[in-house]
Structure 1
Amino acid sequence: MSETPADPPATKPPSSIAAAAFVSSFDRFAVSPLLVLIATDLGASLTQSLAVASLYYLAYGLSQPVWGVLSDRFGRVRLMRLTLVAAAIAGLASALAPGLITLIIARAFAGAFYGAIVPTSLTYVGDTVAEKHRQPALADLMAAIAIGTALATAASGLIADWLDWRIVFAVPAVLAVVCCFGLNGLREIRSDGGGGMLRTLWSAISHRWVLLVAGLAFVEGAAVLGVLTLMAPALQAQGVGAGPAGLATAAYGLGVIVTSRMIRFLSARLTMPRLMALGGSTTVIGYAVVAVHVSIPTIFIAAALLGATWSFLHSSLQTWSTSVLPEARGTVVSLFAGCLFGGSALGAAAGGAIGAAAQWTVLFASTAAVMLVLTVVTVLSRRAYERRSG
């Protein structure tokens, strides 16, 4: 890595990195309370408007291997600055889109460019923070991301109700430009791997533990992020307005903020498999609750429990991804994120089809079952990895 030798060891992510991750998270999660309003305003069905979210996630996911290789080759900070500017342009295009097709295309470009921010920030933490401090540092970064999530889901519905849904896309575009300037002066880090971009990519995709962790991330993305996107529409299908629906699902961000503060304490006392089991169990319970009855209180409870899953299960998978192949860390983390958001695109699309048929109980109950299987497989896999590594 190219970094300043005299720098003291880091234990937290830089504030400018956390701010950029916050903006990316805000843009990603703001759309959920808007889907019904977009469909109404642009003369589309809910299924059609869901493409605004699902194609965003798909572009976010598919772009990851490219960003990972480029960050290893040309530097983390340089990549983040360039993609923040491009994402801002796509965000403004989203706010000005005259029709649904234009909006879908603009959001897909926004997803592709914002897709560089969070995985690159995670890689930056992996590069600069020692492994014994890494999970708490990643939890700190996730707290910033969670604040973006909570504000996005809470504020976007209110802004759309009181003003216009287009303003919601313009806000993170402006903030992205501000963050670009905030990254000035941050020390650059890039991989020293001299084997070339293709060799780095091949070393990642041919590594069985990398493939396993990426596969687990894909299922997690579908079951957690994909179905989370449909919680606000599930409430709106019961006659709840966009504002209250957004506030209820904002409990996800609040759940991440609260439980991420526990990571430093718990990671020192629980093995990673046990932390994974705790995190997976909370989502199983959350989806089971909302499968019984969809209402503001049950969505609030389920969303908060998903936040705990993100802190305990996802942060563990994320930490695993930063250490499984250190010589290609940027590429591995980006593959991990790509699978996560590729899964979320599939989850949003498949779940949206089930929701459009008013089968919300089927959606949430089946997702609880998927999460139960995922939790068991993840815990057993991590234990096997630790035995082999030890």
Structure 2
Amino acid sequence: MSTRAEAAAPPGPASPIRLLQTTAFVSTLDRFAMPPLLVAIAADMGAPLSSVVQAAGVYFLVYGLSQPFWGVVSDRLGRVRTMRLTLLLAGVCTIASALTGSPAALGAARGLAGGFFGAAYPATLIYLGDTVPAAVRQRDIARLMVGVALGTALASVGAGALADVASWRVTFVITGVASLALAWALHRLPEPVQEQRAPSPLQSLALIGRSRIGLLVLCFAFTEGAVLLGALTFLPPAIESVGASAALAGAVTGIYGVSVLISSWAVGRLSQTWHPSRLIGGGAVAGAVACVLMAISQQPVMGGVAVVLVGVAWTSMHSSLQTWATEVLPGARAVMVSFFAGSLFVGSAVCAVAVAGPAAAGDYTAVYAALAVLALPLGLAAAWARARWQRPAAPTSLG
């Protein structure tokens, strides 16, 4: 399948990258908003914290597992239509989350919201893959991360503050309304025109299954999710384990958004002259150093340095792997990118389970030492494989 950037003229001027950045911002804002609210939700509902944590876990699980499904849907329904429909439903479910009164109801509402929000970010990547030439695509994918950075920073710092001064429910009303507004605003985004018939789901899966390099890229995404998302997920409790307040831990975590914002600009420029393998290798080194620092000390100052490095690793290595996922199988791009995103979050979930014991015991030195050990072989293998890979001259044929 191939597409081109032209489409029926939208009703009014629109900047595709701005709309896509906003989509990334809203979906990220909702995804990172719940962790700072867990204690406030449990207190308001008079429920054990563990039950509220399980409700949050439902969101992340469904968010990750739903993404391959939405890749298939976008091949049939269209990239923009899929984004608009899922953002509309996500907004309704998120507002419903603010009206719940029990962890079970909250888990159901958040699970549905996560399933629909799971379509948003992969769809923006697929859209860029369809409409932006491969030679300059990483620049725009790095720009897309500006939305991710702002959403992460605002959620990390703002959600807890809103819960303190008003109610945890306000945050979900805000993200829900923002999602509804964005579903309307995206009518200005032109739908890419498909020049060839989209492959069936089974054809796309067959292409991925027969592609060694495609499967390898998915393995890299899985491992990266464990390392980088794992390092970020455990940062607030690690800092709190040495006596820091939840507010301070949230503020330190919020530095991640600033780091991504600044480094995405730098990576966007470097991607025009550096080979992606160099960006992957450099990002892996930054991630490994961040984990080593957190293994040495969990003090807030060390956490601040580490989270800056994680932001650099994310924009450098992750944007390179994301771009690779849009290129490796052009004939099955939507499903490949969706599986890439799903693999990332499944890797994060597996990491959380694998190190749950040391984390529960407060042994964050062991947690981050394990992540550091995993980061180096990831970087070496991914950089070596990307250096050897050559972009296909034409979209993969379906026969």
* TM-score strictly above 0.5: yes
- Pairwise mapping of residues 91-106 of structure 1 onto structure 2 (< 5 A)? 91-106=94-109
Q: Who is 2:6 aligned against?
A: 4
Q: 1:183 aligns to what?
A: 186
Q: Contact 1:219–1:343 at 8 Å: present in 2 too?
A: yes
1:340 aligns with 2:372: no
In structure 2, distance between residues paired with 1:266 and 1:44: 49
- How many Å apart are 1:352 and its aligned residue? 4.3
For the 8 Å contact 1:278–1:312, the answer to whether it is kept is yes
**Residues 144-187 of structure 1 deviation map (CA, whole Å, 9 limit, x = unaligned):** 11111111111112222332223222221110011011101321
Q: Percent identity?
A: 40
Q: What's the counterpart of residue 396 of structure 2?
A: none
Aligned to 1:217: 221
> Residue 55 of structure 1: CA displacement?
2.8
Residue 54 and residue 190 in structure 1: after superposition, are their counterparts in 2 closer, same or farther (change >3 A)?
farther
CA distance in 2 between partners of 1:41 and 1:232 (Å): 22
Residue 87 of structure 1, CA deviation = 0.8
What's 1:163 paired with?
166
Structure 1 unmatched runs, 5+: none
Taking the aligned partners of 1:294 and 1:268, their CA distance within structure 2 comes to 37
1:358 lines up with 2:332 in the alignment:
no
Cα 1:39–1:226, aligned 2, differ >3 Å: closer, same or farther? farther
| Matches of 1:28 and 1:179, distance apart in 2 | 16
Task: Please list, as runs of the form range in 1=range in 2, the aligned pairs for 1:282-361 lying within 5 A after superposition.
Answer: 282-361=286-365
* Aligned: 1:128 with 2:131: yes
The whole-number CA distance in structure 2 between the counterparts of 1:266 and 1:46 is 44
Number of matched pairs: 385
- TM-score, normalised with respect to structure 2: 0.89
The answer to whether structure 1 residue 30 and structure 2 residue 33 are counterparts is yes
Q: Tell me how far apart the structure 2 counterparts of residues 129 and 215 of structure 1 sit (CA, whole Å).
A: 25
Deviation of 1:117 (Å): 0.4
TM-score by length of 1: 0.91
Counterpart residue number, 1:151? 154
Residue equivalent to 2:397: none
Give the distance between the partners of 2:246 and 2:172, measured in 1 at CA: 16
Matched, 1:117 2:130: no
Do the aligned residues in 1 keep the contact of 2:17 with 2:140 (CA within 8 Å)? no
- Of 77, 86, 95 in structure 1, the residue corresponding to residue 80 of structure 2 is 77
Tell whether 2:102 aligns with 1:60.
no
Matched-pair contact (CA < 8 Å) for 1:227–1:348: no
Per mean C-alpha deviation after superposition, the further-off stretch among 153-162 and 317-326 is 153-162
For each residue in 1:113-167, what CA deviation from the matched residue of structure 2 results, as whole angstroms up to 9, or x when unmatched? 1110000001111111111110001111111111111111111122223322232
The answer as to 2:249 corresponding to 1:245 is yes
Tell me which amino acid in the other structure corresponds to 2:264. S
5+ residue gaps, structure 2, are 10-14, 394-399
Secondary structure in 2 aligned to 1:270?
coil
Indicate how the Cα distance of structure 1 residues 45 and 216 shifts in structure 2: closer, same or farther if over 3 A, else same.
farther
Structure-2 change in CA distance of 1:197 and 1:388 (3 Å): closer
Compared CA separation, residues 102 and 6, structure 1 to 2 (3 A): closer
| Secondary structure, counterpart of 1:334 in structure 2 | helix
Give the counterpart letter for 2:135 in structure 1.
K
Q: Structure 1 residue 6: deviation in Å?
A: 9.5
